[in-house]
């Protein structure tokens, strides 16, 4: 291991042999860090953090810190991070609470830019881009390939579907369907995320099908619930994915399906 002499690494931390730890970083007891990971200067990695391989924490990143939840009492909980992620300066990542499964999960190949925050009990997929100062509250679920632009704020218990795109400074207070672009305060569906789908390798014919369905659902003035219900058995797996998401959204409290599962 390449550990700077000013770093503080607890003897109970489990670091792979080639992990790098920068100046004045702190790694607490019980932390697990996979091969090829770099923990930059002044980073703080709290107890309960399980980190995969080839991750980069540039500087001043806090990982696995206690949830920002007034009801949280100090207890065992975790954050699990996959492989090949990059977390830029001053990113903060909170571990889970007993309100769900006491775990925050972040997938692989994500790029989280400076000043962003991921709250407790969130579940993030892979290949997500969060640009500067994006704030994701607790209990949110983000699908693969989501893009969140600068200063976007995502309210608690919100779900954002696969390959959705959230515009800068948007206030997301309802679930965001997959494959669409949203923007505004509050955020509203604007168009299909055609560029994002194309870059992810989705064939043009599938993109065209989603564009056709999008017009039927969001631009005809008919009931979103009825239109989504009519597509639930469509031959296209992507159309079914969109329809199923919309039906859950419509059934949820305040337009958030996960809110309806919340214990009161």
- Per-residue pLDDT tens for 79-111? 999 999 999 999 999 999 999 999 999 999 999
Domain residue limits, the chain:
2-193
193-209: average pLDDT: 96
Q: Quick one: CA torsion of 257, 258, 263, 264, rounded to 10 degrees?
A: -60
Asked whether the predicted pLDDT for residue 264 surpasses 60, the reply is no
Show the CA angle centred on residue 159, arms to residues 163 and 120, nearest 5°: 115
Residues in the chain: 264
The token pair that represents 223 in the structure block: 């009931």
Mean pLDDT of the residues in the chain: 96
pTM of the model: 0.96
Strands 180-184 and 187-192: antiparallel
Q: How far is CA 181 from CA 178, 213, 257, in A?
A: 9, 15, 19
Q: Is 117 helix (H, G, I), strand (E, B) or coil?
A: strand
Which CATH number is 2-193 given? Answer: 2.160.10.10
Rounded CA separation 91/132 (Å):
9
Q: Is 160 helix (H, G, I), strand (E, B) or coil?
A: strand
């Amino acid at each position: 291991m390449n550990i700077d002499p000013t770093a503080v690494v607890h003897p109970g931390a489990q670091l792979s042999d080639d992990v790098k730890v920068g100046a004045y970083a702190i790694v607490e007891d019980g932390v697990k860090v996979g091969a090829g990971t770099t923990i930059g200067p002044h980073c703080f990695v709290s107890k309960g953090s399980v980190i995969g391989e080839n991750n980069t924490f540039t500087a001043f990143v806090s990982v696995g810190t206690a949830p920002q939840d007034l009801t949280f009492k100090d207890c065992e909980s975790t954050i699990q991070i996959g492989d090949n992620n990059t977390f830029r300066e001053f990113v903060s990542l909170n571990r889970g609470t007993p309100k769900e499964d006491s775990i925050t999960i972040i997938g692989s190949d994500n790029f989280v830019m400076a000043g962003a925050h991921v709250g407790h009990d969130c579940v993030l997929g892979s290949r997500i881009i969060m640009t500067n100062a994006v704030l994701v509250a607790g209990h949110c679920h983000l699908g693969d390939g989501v893009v969140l632009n600068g200063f976007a704020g995502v309210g608690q218990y919100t779900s954002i579907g696969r390959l959705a795109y959230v515009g800068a400074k948007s206030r997301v207070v309802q679930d965001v369907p997959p494959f669409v672009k949203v923007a505004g305060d509050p955020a509203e569906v604007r168009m299909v995320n055609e560029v994002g789908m194309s870059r992810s390798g989705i064939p043009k014919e599938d993109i065209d099908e989603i564009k056709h369905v999008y017009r039927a659902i969001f631009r005809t003035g008919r009931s979103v619930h009825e239109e989504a219900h009519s597509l639930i058995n469509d031959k296209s797996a992507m159309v079914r994915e969109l329809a199923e998401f919309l039906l859950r959204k419509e059934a949820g409290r305040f337009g958030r399906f996960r809110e309806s599962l919340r214990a009161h």
